[in-house]
Structure 1
Amino acid sequence: MATSSDRLVWIDCEMTGLDLEVDELVEIAVVITDFELNVLDPGLSIVIKPDDSALANMGDFVRQMHTTSGLIEEIPNGKSLAEAEYEVLEYVLKFAPTARTAPLAGNTIGTDRMFLAKYMPRLDNHLHYRNVDVSSIKELARRWFPRIYFNAPEKNGGHRALADILESIRELDYYRSAAFVAPPGPTTDDTQALASGVVEKWAPRMY
Structure 2
Amino acid sequence: MVWIDCEMTGLDLHVDELIEVAVIVTDAELNPLDSGIDLLIKPSATAMNHMGEFVREMHTKSGLLAKLDTGLSVEEAGRQVLDYVKRLVPEPGKAQLAGNSVHSDKAFLAKQMPELINWLHYRIIDVSTLKELAMRWYPKVYGLAPEKTGNHRALGDIIDSLNELRYYRSVLLPAGEGPSTEELQSAAAHILQTSPFK
Q: TM-score, normalised by structure 2?
A: 0.96
SS at 1:155 equivalent: coil
SS at 2:51 equivalent: coil
Is 1:172 paired with 2:165? yes
What is the aligned length?
198
Pick from 165, 170, 191 the counterpart of residue 198 of structure 1: 191
> Which amino acid in 2 is paired with 1:179?
L
The whole-number CA distance in structure 2 between the counterparts of 1:91 and 1:197 is 46
The C-alpha deviation readout for 1:42-66, integer Å capped at 9, x for no partner, is 0000000011111122111111111
Pick from 22, 33, 46 the counterpart of residue 26 of structure 2: 33
CA RMSD between the two structures: 1.1
- Which residue is 1:79 aligned to? 72
- Which residue is 2:113 aligned to? 120
The whole-number CA distance in structure 1 between the counterparts of 2:75 and 2:13 is 18
After superposition, where does 1:154-169 map in structure 2 within 5 Å? 154-169=147-162
Q: Work out whether residues 145 and 179 of structure 1, in 8 Å CA contact, stay in contact via their aligned partners in 2.
A: no
Range 98-107 or range 177-186, more displaced: 177-186
After superposition, where does 1:1-207 map in structure 2 within 5 Å? 8-202=1-195, 205-206=197-198
> Which amino acid in 2 is paired with 1:150?
G
Range 188-197 or range 77-86, more displaced: 188-197
**Uncovered stretches (5+) of structure 1, i.e. residues with no partner:** 1-7
- Residue 69 (structure 1) shift: 0.5
- Displaced runs of 4 or more, over 3 A: none
The C-alpha deviation readout for 1:60-86, integer Å capped at 9, x for no partner, is 111111111011111000001011000
The whole-number CA distance in structure 2 between the counterparts of 1:34 and 1:179 is 20
> Which amino acid in 2 is paired with 1:37?
L
The whole-number CA distance in structure 2 between the counterparts of 1:196 and 1:86 is 49
**Uncovered stretches (5+) of structure 2, i.e. residues with no partner:** none
- Residue 100 (structure 1) shift: 1.4
- Residue 184 (structure 1) shift: 3.1
